[in-house]
């Protein structure tokens, strides 16, 4: 089970407000805040697609990149024991911790 939608390489978060009895979400991985909502799942999927299409049109009109750019570095917070074990494995394999983590991410993405 997932609480995400996907359309044209865009990912949308999905939430439910029991107080308002509405599904809502936002487009993830962009530099702007674009939200959508609906009263049913099928309507939410439609609202998400419309939000993506509207956002793409806006980006086209303004010459803005649709997706957030990534610089290729980020901080990963893990507990000290996992950090120590990862360092040990990397060192024994003759790799830096950065290489070890990069390869672990690549492997996870290949195997899903």
Q: What is the mean pLDDT of each run of 10 residues along the chain (112 residues)?
A: 88 96 96 96 97 97 93 93 96 95 95 82
Q: Are the beta carbons of 12 and 36 closer than 8 angstroms? A: yes
Kindly compute the dihedral angle of the four CA atoms of residues 1, 37, 27, 76, in this order, to the nearest 10 degrees. -50
48, 46, 47: which is closest to 27 by C-alpha? 48
pTM of the model: 0.76
Residue spans per domain, the chain: 4-62, 80-111
Q: What's the Cα-to-Cα distance from 75 to each of 43, 99, 102, rounded to whole Å? A: 37, 14, 12
At 1 the pLDDT is 52
Q: What angle do CA 7, 30, 79 make, to 5 degrees?
A: 100
């Amino acid at each position: 089970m997932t609480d995400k939608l996907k359309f044209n390489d865009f990912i949308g978060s999905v939430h439910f407000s029991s107080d308002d009895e509405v599904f809502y979400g936002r487009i993830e991985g962009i530099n702007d805040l674009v939200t959508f909502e609906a009263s049913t799942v099928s309507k939410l999927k439609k609202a998400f697609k419309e939000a993506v299409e509207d956002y793409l049109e806006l980006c086209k009109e303004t010459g803005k990149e649709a997706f957030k750019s990534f610089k290729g570095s980020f901080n990963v917070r893990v507990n000290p024991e996992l950090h120590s074990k990862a360092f040990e494995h990397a060192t024994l394999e003759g790799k830096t911790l950065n290489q070890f983590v990069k390869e672990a991410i690549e492997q996870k993405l290949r195997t899903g």
